[in-house]
């Protein structure tokens, strides 16, 4: 009798179980709701981005026109010093500045991750990064506490529960109901029959999770034009398969352990708790204790102290700044120093003091992230979470890439405006067209793959080991009546 026929029979039995339909409906409804929740969040981000881009385009146009008029010598309108598009210092601080946007990735509706607390846009400015590179999006914290409901969460937490609920008594239940004896009185390999029973149930859960992904992709308007999106989608499905295989393996091992249905339910639940709750909790606790988040409060205080110190020794700050920028002295000999240059000098002095603090802050944050990343191997749930977030573009790596690209851009931006402020060049329309723009560069699929592979490999190995263990045990389980 072919495996397929056994699956078909198993499906016939399953189909008539109420529990199955309850599980299917619950899982499906929850998954769809989660997908719509992710889609709504992403739409909100996209809306914000569209608003930003539109606002910037308008501002840029009107300032560009003003600049054109001023440049042509039109003096009919007085322009406040704080709104003068010719001043590199003013524009550099953010007048009509473009936005550095981290756009939601193609599969963004599938996972929210940290996107709701990390910055996804900032307006370019010569100011110190730490003072403005934060997420100030409005969100009721009481709502954030509950945690986000997205498809990644459903797959991470609920999908294993569904697999376990469907498979926990595949063997023990039959034994307790007495049907197992009749089945095993037939001339078939018990491992194949029991394997088929388990597989039918696990495949069902898998089909549900995959189906949910596809429905979510279709409903949330993920555009499938890009082959890269297809690749990511394929990987997403692979993650679901591998994670499902892991849980299937656990279920097989427990089913093989000849327990009563109730005991096997309790054991599987314990496994779920261990993998989804306890191990991640241990990982988080260890990371939190060994690599606590650096304090932004302390940083803010230190920055203020540094700024105060610089202002108190304004002349010193100015002198050392001019020493570093001799070009300016030659130019400014005689006249009172440009207040913009003074403020540059003060910022420079404060940042010099703060540079090691910022470096330490970033290093602490990076160390925390690295620690969290390596601790993910503690639990397949963490590995899977990282993989799902990565694929949906809500992962740590993508945000870090954004930060790095932002840093590069920020330096470029400062350079552009500081050099012009120093050389006292007012901005011309050509300068305006040359203002650096930010465009987030996505990482290559191969880099993504390299990051996912170890975790997926580990989970798959675990799954296979568990399944092998289960296979061995199933023969024994078959004997017990």
Partner 1 sequence: MIATIAAKEFRELVRDGRFRWAAVVVGSLLIVAALAGWTAWRTQAQTRDAAQSTMQAMWFNQPAKNPHSAAHYGLWAFKPQMPLGFIDRGVDPYTGTASWLEAHRQNEFRFRPAMDATAAQRFGEWTTAGVLQLLVPLLIILLAHGAFAGERERGTLRQLASLGVPARTLLIGKAVGIGGAMGLLLVPVAAVGAALVMRDSGADGLFRLFALGGVYFAYFTLFLVLTLFVSARAASARGALIVLLSLWAWNGLVAPRLAADMARGVAPTPTARAFSADVQRSLANGVDGHSPASTRNRLLQDSLLAAHGVSHVDSLPFNYSGYSMQRGEEHANGVFDHHFGELWAQYAAQDRAQLAGAVVAPLVAVRQLSMAIAGTDFAQHRAFADAAESYRRLLNKAMNDAIADHAAPGQGFSYLGDSTLWAGVGPFEYEAPGLGRVLVAQAPSLLFVTAWLFALVVTVRRERRLSVL
Partner 2 sequence: MAYSPLLEARGLTKRYGDTVALDALDLGVNSGEVYCLLGANGAGKSTAINCFLDFVRPDTGSALIGGSVVADDPIGTKQRLAYIPETVMLYGNLSAVENLEYFATLATGTRPARPDLLKHLITAGLTEVQADQRVGGFSKGMRQKVGIAIALAKGADVLLLDEPTSGLDPKASNEFHGLLGMLRAHGAAVLMATHDLFRAKESGTRVGIMKRGRKVAELRTDEIGHADLEQLYLQHMHD
Helices (H), 273-338: 279-290, 296-312, 314-324, 326-332
19 near partner 1, rule: CB under 8 A: yes
| Residues within window 311-350 making contact with partner 1, judged by CB under 8 A | 312
Q: Rounded distance, CA 440 to CA 103, Å? A: 8
Q: Rounded distance, CA 182 to CA 405, Å? A: 66
- Find residue 100's DSSP bridge partners: 122
Phi-psi label, residue 295: left if phi above 0, alpha if psi -120 to 50, beta otherwise: beta
The string of DSSP codes covering 136-154 is -----HHHHHT----HHHI
Helices (H), 72-189: 88-93, 141-145, 151-153, 159-167, 172-177, 179-184
Q: Rounded distance, CA 132 to CA 123, Å? A: 8
Whichever of 238 and 365 has its CB closer to partner 1, that residue is 365
Least distance between partner 1 and beta carbon 281 (Å): 4
Least distance between partner 2 and beta carbon 264 (Å): 19
| Residues within window 90-149 making contact with partner 1, judged by CB under 8 A | 113-114, 117-119, 134-149
Pick one of partner 1, partner 2, none as the site partner of residue 173 (Cβ within 5 to 8 A by kind): partner 1
* Window 26-65: contact mask with partner 1 (x via CB under 8 A): x---x--x---x--x---x--xx--xx--x----------
Q: Rounded distance, CA 402 to CA 320, Å? A: 33
Least distance between partner 2 and beta carbon 12 (Å): 7
Whichever of 147 and 227 has its CB closer to partner 1, that residue is 147
| Residues within window 177-196 making contact with partner 2, judged by CB under 8 A | 177-179, 181-189, 193
384 near partner 1, rule: CB under 8 A: no
* Window 257-276: contact mask with partner 1 (x via CB under 8 A): ----xx--xx--xx--x---
Q: Rounded distance, CA 242 to CA 236, Å? A: 10
Least distance between partner 1 and beta carbon 14 (Å): 15
Whichever of 16 and 330 has its CB closer to partner 1, that residue is 16
Pick one of partner 1, partner 2, none as the site partner of residue 181 (Cβ within 5 to 8 A by kind): partner 2
Asked if 365 and 293 touch (Cβ cutoff 8 Å), the reply is yes
Whichever of 117 and 468 has its CB closer to partner 1, that residue is 117
Which residues lie near partner 2 (CB under 8 A)?
1, 5-6, 9, 12-13, 16-17, 177-179, 181-189, 193, 479-481
């Amino acid at each position: 009798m072919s495996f397929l026929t056994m699956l078909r029979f198993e499906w016939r039995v399953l189909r008539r179980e109420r529990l199955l339909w309850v599980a299917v409906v619950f899982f499906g409804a929850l998954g769809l709701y989660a997908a719509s929740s992710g889609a709504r969040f992403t739409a909100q981000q996209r809306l914000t981005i569209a608003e930003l881009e539109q606002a910037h385009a308008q501002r840029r146009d009107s300032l560009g026109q003003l600049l054109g008029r001023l440049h042509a010598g039109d003096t009919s309108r007085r322009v406040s010093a704080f709104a003068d598009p010719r001043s590199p210092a003013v524009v550099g601080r953010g007048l009509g500045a473009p936005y550095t946007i981290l756009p939601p990735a193609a599969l963004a509706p599938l996972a929210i991750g940290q996107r709701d607390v990390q910055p996804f846009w900032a307006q370019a400015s010569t100011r110190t990064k730490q003072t403005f590179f934060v997420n100030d999006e409005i969100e009721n914290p009481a709502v954030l506490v509950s945690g986000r409901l997205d498809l990644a969460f459903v797959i991470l937490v609920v999908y294993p529960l569904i697999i376990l609920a469907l498979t926990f008594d595949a063997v023990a239940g039959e034994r307790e109901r007495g049907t197992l004896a009749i089945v095993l009185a037939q001339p078939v390999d018990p491992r194949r029959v029991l394997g088929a029973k388990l597989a039918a149930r696990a495949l069902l859960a898998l089909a549900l999770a995959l189906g949910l992904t596809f429905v979510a992709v279709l409903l949330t308007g993920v555009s499938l034009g890009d082959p890269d999106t297809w690749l990511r989608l394929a990987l997403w499905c692979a993650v679901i398969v591998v994670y499902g295989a892991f849980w299937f393996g656990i279920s097989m091992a427990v089913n093989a352990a000849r327990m009563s249905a109730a005991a096997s339910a309790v054991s599987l639940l314990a496994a779920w708790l261990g993998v989804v709750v306890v191990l991640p909790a241990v990982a988080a606790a260890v990371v939190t204790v060994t690599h606590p988040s650096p304090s932004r409060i302390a940083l803010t205080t230190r920055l203020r102290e540094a700024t105060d110190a610089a202002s108190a020794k304004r002349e010193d700050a100015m002198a050392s700044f001019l020493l570093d920028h001799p070009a300016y002295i030659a130019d400014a000999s005689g006249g009172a120093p440009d207040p913009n240059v003074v403020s540059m000098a003060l910022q420079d002095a404060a940042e010099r003091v703060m540079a090691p603090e910022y470096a330490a802050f970033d290093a602490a944050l990076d160390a925390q992230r690295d620690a969290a990343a390596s601790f993910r191997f503690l639990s397949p749930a963490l590995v899977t979470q990282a993989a799902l977030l990565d694929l949906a573009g809500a992962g740590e790596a993508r945000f870090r890439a954004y930060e790095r690209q932002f840093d590069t851009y920020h330096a470029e931006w400062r350079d552009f405006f500081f050099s012009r402020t120093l050389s006292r060049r007012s901005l011309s329309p050509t300068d305006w067209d040359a203002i650096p723009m930010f465009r987030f560069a996505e990482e290559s699929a191969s880099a993504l793959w390299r990051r996912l592979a170890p975790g997926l490999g580990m989970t798959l190995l675990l799954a296979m080991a568990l399944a092998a263990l289960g296979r061995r045990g199933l023969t024994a389980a078959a004997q017990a009546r």
